[in-house]
Amino acid sequence: MRIAIVTSEAAPFSKTGGLADVAGALFREYVKCGLTAYLFVPLYRATVRQFGPFIRRTGLELDVAVGRETARCTVWCARIAASGDVTLSDEGTEREPGTVFFIGNDDFFDREDLYGTASGEFGDNDRRFAFFCRSVVETCRSMGLGLDVVHCHDWETALIPLYLKTAYRNDPSFAKTKSVFTIHNLGYQGHFPPLSMEVAGLSWDLFRPEGIEFYGKVNYLKAGLISADILTTVSETYAKEILTPEFGFGLDGVLRKRAEVLVGIVDGIDYGDWDPSTDTRIPHVFTADDLSGKEQCRRELIKRCGLKGRRTGPVLCFVGRLAGQKGIDILIEALPRALRGGALCVVLGTGEQRYHDRLAALAGDFPGKIHFHSVFDEALAHLVYAGSDIFLMPSLYEPCGLGQMIAMRYGTIPVARMTGGSADTVVHVSHVEHFLCGDLFGEAKGTGFLFGEYSAEAFVAQIYRAVCLHRSAEAWKRLIRNAMSGDFSWELSAQKYLELYAGRER
């Protein structure tokens, strides 16, 4: 089976969030399994800065239509080895499995940021990603990749399934190509003014509610939703949630019409990147059987963050985007109460200025108790996951969420809102007594704490249960062992995608 994964970001080449982890890890898993897989991503400035020596020109250059003009697409490549390492590919070997194709155009992608700056999204994102989508299709055609599956992710790539159903419908290069479109977060849709229909080279016939019009605007995400052969999203619970007005962001009706091709497959985490027993980014490695390294990471984290408190109190943490979706409002409301009982807290996140200001003020009110790091720092994230005891994830909604899985793998117990992927990956501790008394009164089941109502009260109630259990070292160790024994690897999820690719006809 010949598969192309198309995404606007993929680790390790470019990353602003979970999409990069997921697309990069899925691709590496396919390569590891010996499948004929290709990856398509834009060639951003940050990619060149970090991977320049491994990236070479393929020799393919195309003039790609963007509205009434054309833009030059230069196709670059690198290779991912079965080990997951990035390597330079030999000339003339572009069609070999494991090739990463980078779509280059300096006007569009040679920028410091991927999608926009702190003051807002780039004004030409409709052009940038229409160009990217068309360039990918043209590259597949010119290279003669003969794809069975083109697997697109999020709105930036959503025009591809529509192009395959319209402009390229009768193109023999795509006669057997199925399109799969994965929704990572329905909250991000790519809304643009009507004239973007022309930028994307689409017929005005499609500018209607059954097409890709959305309340007077063009909605790129809708292009994928109405035209992909298979739709997926990143957890089973989220696949059900997005069919309802509460989680549907105005597209639940469109999705209900396509419900029979919509499947939820939970993301995994990259076990190469996230393994506490081999992690080179943490000062001390550890396993479920020997947690002494975790204790040392904890000390290091407390020291680095300048926290002061009782050695026995738990360290709480939050790692993620500072956005309404992540539940920052109730996090800020809950934190002062969560600190009772001697807890300390580290917050690592970047995002909306209003949350940044409020968190900075809160950290100022609780010096030595709350530390706020407003940076995107992957190495620090590893230390935070490893050195904390409790991971806070009060999301308003959470399509899948990687943080809770990473936390559990590092023996850090999630307190999470029961929505989307956190509902599917965290097993709620229903009876703390089972942990406190061994198996005396029943099996100690559970890997974390979940709450349903979106309120600081409901959140704090579960934090308190976690903090109480943390007071018993033995009980806490039992809980850590449960959390660390979960399987969040990509193997199972990648297998499910492969079955899905094989199972449905175009």
Among 50, 287, 350, 455, binds ligand ADP (CB under 6 A): 350
Residue 428 DSSP SS3: strand
> Mask: binding to ligand ADP, 290-329, rule CB under 6 A, as x and -?
-----------------------------xxx--------
Among 104, 349, 387, 446, binds ligand ADP (CB under 6 A): 349
Judged by beta carbon, residue 10 or residue 475, the one nearer ligand ADP is 10
Q: In whole angstroms, give the CA distance from residue 184 to residue 18.
A: 9
Shortest Cβ 50–ligand ADP spacing (Å): 16
Sequence letter at residue 28:
R
Which residue has the CB atom at the shortest distance from ligand ADP? 18
The residues in 175-234 that bind ligand ADP, with binding defined as CB under 6 A, are 185
Shortest Cβ 282–ligand ADP spacing (Å): 14
Question: Distance of CA 169 to CAs 161, 177, 228, 451, 501, Å?
Answer: 10, 10, 13, 47, 19
Judged by beta carbon, residue 226 or residue 416, the one nearer ligand ADP is 416
Instruction: By CB under 6 A, tell whether 18 contacts ligand ADP.
Output: yes
For residue 193, what are its two tokens? Answer: 């003014």
Shortest Cβ 184–ligand ADP spacing (Å): 7
Instruction: By CB under 6 A, tell whether 394 contacts ligand ADP.
Output: no
Shortest Cβ 388–ligand ADP spacing (Å): 12
Judged by beta carbon, residue 98 or residue 401, the one nearer ligand ADP is 401
Q: Which long-range contacts (CB under 8 A, 24 or more apart) does 476-479 make?
A: 476/389, 476/413, 476/435, 477/291, 478/435, 478/438, 478/444, 479/413, 479/429, 479/435, 479/444, 479/446, 479/447
Instruction: By CB under 6 A, tell whether 17 contacts ligand ADP.
Output: yes
β-strand pairing of 36-42 with 99-104: parallel
Shortest Cβ 276–ligand ADP spacing (Å): 14
418 DSSP assignment = S
DSSP bridge partners of 70: 65
Shortest Cβ 496–ligand ADP spacing (Å): 18
3-state SS string for 208-255: CCCCCEECCEEEHHHHHHHHCCEEEECCHHHHHHCCCCCCCCCCHHHH
The residues in 353-382 that bind ligand ADP, with binding defined as CB under 6 A, are 376-378, 381
Q: In whole angstroms, give the CA distance from residue 484 to residue 494.
A: 21
* Contact between 28 and 270 (Cβ < 8 Å): yes
Number of residues lying near ligand ADP (CB under 6 A): 19
Q: Which stretch binds ligand ADP (CB under 6 A): 75-83, 141-149, 187-195, 342-350?
A: 342-350
Judged by beta carbon, residue 38 or residue 238, the one nearer ligand ADP is 238
Among 201, 401, 411, 420, binds ligand ADP (CB under 6 A): 401
Shortest Cβ 241–ligand ADP spacing (Å): 15
Shortest Cβ 248–ligand ADP spacing (Å): 18
Residue 396 DSSP SS3: coil
Q: Measuring CA to CA, which residue among 389, 396, 356 is closest to residue 463?
A: 389
Judged by beta carbon, residue 80 or residue 405, the one nearer ligand ADP is 405
Shortest Cβ 21–ligand ADP spacing (Å): 5
Sign of CA dihedral 439, 441, 442, 448: negative
Instruction: By CB under 6 A, tell whether 420 contacts ligand ADP.
Output: no
Q: Which stretch binds ligand ADP (CB under 6 A): 242-250, 361-369, 400-408, 487-495?
A: 400-408
* Contact between 40 and 101 (Cβ < 8 Å): yes
DSSP bridge partners of 75: 103
Q: In whole angstroms, give the CA distance from residue 260 to residue 150.
A: 20
Judged by beta carbon, residue 212 or residue 381, the one nearer ligand ADP is 381
Residue ranges in contact with ligand ADP by CB under 6 A? 17-19, 21, 185, 319-321, 348-350, 376-378, 381, 400-403
